[in-house]
Amino acid sequence: MVVSRNVPLPLYHQIKEFVLAKISSGEWKTGEVIPSETELANQFAVSRATVRQALVELANAGYLRRMQGIGTVVTEPTVEPIAALKSFSENMRACGIEPGYRTLEVTWVRDPQRMRLEGIGRGPDHDLFLSIRRVLLANGEPLALQRTLIPKWVIAGNEDLFTKERLDGESLYRLLKNRCGVSFFRASESIQAAVTSEEEAEFLDLEAAVPVLVIKRHTYDRMDRLVEYSRMVYRADRYSYRISLTSSGTV
């Protein structure tokens, strides 16, 4: 490719398209160091500042990572989910990504860590939960480590459906909705920054003590009963969260 000064498209934008074409074609693979600013500037007969603008914008978009002492490395694009009550698989497919799951554990727990989850109701098994731990995959690569707790009454009579083999290939929300009749009406989420534990780093293919996003979700049905609680640890280098705000009309 040769950049042209005779077209309305800015030079830096033409360089961006060149780099994106190399990445999308697979010629420049994830983890590979691309040519330096100086090499690209010489190749296109432009200034390093022009190349730098193109690379910085691609880094901000999640396609590249600029690493001190190494250079500019190709990364996977950042996933930006829809801010709505949707399943992991729905969010991934909306981003053009194929979701996947690797189930680590399915077990029953009672009053886990004295969580005292609100809205669970009362009964003989009010503190008994099905605990599911899964690695959430994006195009086959680890994106998040998820632990989900489901009150026993929610899946009563359908316990045999929740096996590792089935959960490796099916959306949990779809299973709860279609087979257990759960209605997902509202949810509350909290998001905070953290660093990985050794176990989390291992499952997410990260170094220990690197930044992650921890998202906790309480999901309720139309009768305002808690039907699911999830704690998800997302790779901060692959996942971002955007929320749209509107004015209340007050000052």
Q: What is the pLDDT along the chain (251 residues), one digit of tens a residue?
A: 567 777 778 888 889 889 888 887 888 888 889 999 999 999 988 999 999 999 888 877 678 888 878 889 888 666 655 555 677 888 777 777 788 999 999 999 886 554 555 544 444 556 789 999 999 998 888 999 999 999 999 999 999 999 999 999 999 999 999 999 998 888 888 889 999 999 999 999 888 888 899 999 899 988 888 899 999 999 887 777 766 666 665 55
- Please check whether residue 227 lies inside any domain of the structure: yes
Residues 119, 99 contacting (CB under 8 angstroms): no
Residues 103, 171 contacting (CB under 8 angstroms): no
Residues 234, 143 contacting (CB under 8 angstroms): yes
- Please check whether residue 82 lies inside any domain of the structure: no
Q: Which domain holds residue 183?
A: 88-235
Q: Count of domains in the chain?
A: 2
Q: Which pLDDT value is given to residue 123? A: 47
218 with 124, same domain: the answer is: yes
Query: Residue 136 CA to chain centroid, in angstroms?
Result: 8
| Distance in angstroms (rounded) separating the CA atoms of residues 76 and 165 | 28
Best CA proximity match to 197, nearest among 171, 239, 233, 250: 233
- Please check whether residue 24 lies inside any domain of the structure: yes
20 with 50, same domain: the answer is: yes
Burial status of residue 179 (CB atoms within 10 A of its CB: 0-12, 13-18, 19 or more): middle
Boundary-marking domain end, from 74, 96, 127: 74
Structure tokens at 4: 């042209």
Q: What is the CATH number of the domain that holds 113?
A: 3.40.1410.10
Amino acid, res. 78: T
- Please check whether residue 64 lies inside any domain of the structure: yes
- Please check whether residue 131 lies inside any domain of the structure: yes
50 with 115, same domain: the answer is: no
145 with 202, same domain: the answer is: yes
- Please check whether residue 20 lies inside any domain of the structure: yes
- Please check whether residue 161 lies inside any domain of the structure: yes
| Distance in angstroms (rounded) separating the CA atoms of residues 231 and 219 | 12
Please report which helix (H) or strand (E) contains residue 167, including its range: helix 164-167
Structure tokens at 44: 């296109």
39 with 144, same domain: the answer is: no
111 with 66, same domain: the answer is: no
- Please check whether residue 184 lies inside any domain of the structure: yes
115 with 31, same domain: the answer is: no
Best CA proximity match to 188, nearest among 222, 226, 150: 226
Beta carbons within 10 angstroms of residue 21's beta carbon: 12
221 with 113, same domain: the answer is: yes
65 with 187, same domain: the answer is: no
183 with 216, same domain: the answer is: yes
Q: What is the CATH number of the domain that holds 67?
A: 1.10.10.10
201 with 129, same domain: the answer is: yes
